[in-house]
Amino acid sequence: MESLKKPVGRFAPTPSGRMHLGNVFAALMAWASVRSRGGSFVLRMEDLDTQRTAKEYADLLREDLEWLGLDWDLETPPQSQRSEVYDRYFACLAEKGLLYPCYCTRSQLHSVNAPHLSDGTYVYPGTCRNLTAAEQAAFGRDPAWRVMVPDKIWKLHDLCRGDYQQNLAAECGDFVVRRADGVYVYQLAVTVDDGEAGVTEVVRGMDLLSSAPRQMYLQELLGFSHPEYGHLPLLMAPDGRRLSKRDRDLDMGALRRRMTPEKLVGSLAYSAGLLEKQESISAAELATVFSWEKLRRDNICPENLFSGKSCFSPKI
Ligand code: GLU
């Protein structure tokens, strides 16, 4: 029976720097959610952007996860080694007649005066959808490839955010699945990787919620079932800023020098509403207190990780 199946969760970091508090939070919640129900956990390095990512960061990531007390049942091959796999799925989309080459330049795309999704995606107006073969050849360069999207509303019930919907045609437009340099884009790779690994639950930051409908569309086209989604609240600094990789005092190098794993796990769990009082707990204990009902829905300020500053202190 479907409902009795054990969940399969995953953590899919981009090894482009030392793990940051935001990644730590996503890893902990994704892990605790499936472990609390006896499910399994998959790790995957998302290193499609080989210019920005490095093996050294992937090694540090694993070490930081272990320090936190997290474990995984399987690490699937990094995306940079899977382009032949993605080729097959790309061919499958091509066979369906859903792909077309796009020659638009970055500046052309940016000048498109259309609404865009929260991730900065412009609604692609379909400029290259109906080019003739002669028009395509006249560009004389390699194109990116876009998948056509239907005028249809994609609905999901997010474990954290509740109901969410998006009409891809109106809010996103045909989107790129392979770049002009032959590199596959995140949307395709993540769909294939999660699908092949049998992931049933995708837990990650709120900033990726608007990507979920694109992934659901590709899942449908490529024959994968839809996972459940849980898009986590973002972590904020006491002055209301969103935390970023630039906050070096909150990367794992700095955090590990300042505190124990239990203090870090406990502080995040408390800020997220999973603990009633501030206390130190292990990752294993986190799995016993985790519940989607308790998890806060609004932005989270892990105050006690900032030495003495209050979440509500005015910006100086
Ligand atoms: N690789 C992405 C990141 O590090 C996460 C992608 C995902 O979880 O779907 O932000």
The model carries a pTM of: 0.93
In this structure, the residue with its CA closest to atom 6 of ligand 1 is 12
Q: Exposed/middle/buried for 1, CB within 10 Å: 0-12, 13-18, 19+?
A: exposed
DSSP 135-170: HHHHH-SPPEEEE---S-EEEEEETTTEEEEEEHHH
DSSP 54-95: -HHHHHHHHHHHHHHT---SEEEPPGGG-HHHHHHHHHHHHH
Contact predicate 234/207, CB 8 Å: yes
44 Cα: distance to centroid of ligand 1 (angstroms) = 10
| Strand stretches in the chain, DSSP E | 8-11, 40-44, 74-76, 99-102, 144-147, 153-158, 162-167, 175-178, 201-205, 228-232
124 by DSSP, 3-state: which? strand
141 Cα: distance to centroid of ligand 1 (angstroms) = 31
Contact predicate 252/60, CB 8 Å: yes
In this structure, the residue with its CA closest to atom 7 of ligand 1 is 12
Atom from ligand 1 closest to the CA of residue 16? 4
Q: For residues 289, 290, 292 and 297, what is the CA-based torsion angle, rounded to 10 degrees?
A: 90
Q: Is 46 in the pocket of ligand 1 (CB under 6 A)?
A: yes
Backbone angles phi, psi at 230, to 5 degrees: -135, 105
14 Cα: distance to centroid of ligand 1 (angstroms) = 6
Q: Exposed/middle/buried for 48, CB within 10 Å: 0-12, 13-18, 19+?
A: buried
The one-letter amino acid code at 290 reads F
Atom from ligand 1 closest to the CA of residue 23? 4
307 by DSSP, 3-state: which? coil
The tokens for 127 are 């400029």
pLDDT tens sequence for the chain (316 residues): 445 689 999 999 999 999 999 999 999 999 999 999 999 999 999 999 999 999 999 999 999 999 999 999 999 999 999 999 999 999 999 999 999 999 999 888 877 666 566 666 789 999 999 999 999 999 999 999 999 999 999 999 999 999 999 999 999 999 999 999 999 999 999 999 999 999 999 999 999 999 999 999 999 999 999 999 999 999 988 888 888 777 777 899 999 999 999 999 999 999 999 999 999 999 999 999 999 999 999 999 888 887 544 444 333 3
Q: What per-residue confidence (pLDDT) applies to 87?
A: 98
Q: What per-residue confidence (pLDDT) applies to 309?
A: 43
116 Cα: distance to centroid of ligand 1 (angstroms) = 20
230 Cα: distance to centroid of ligand 1 (angstroms) = 13
Q: What per-residue confidence (pLDDT) applies to 4?
A: 64
Q: Is 190 in the pocket of ligand 1 (CB under 6 A)?
A: yes
Residues of 87-118 as b/e, b for ≥16 C-beta within 10 angstroms?
Answer: eebbeebeeeebbbebbbeeeebeeeeeeebe
Report in angstroms the alpha-carbon separations of 169 from 113, 125, 150: 16, 9, 6
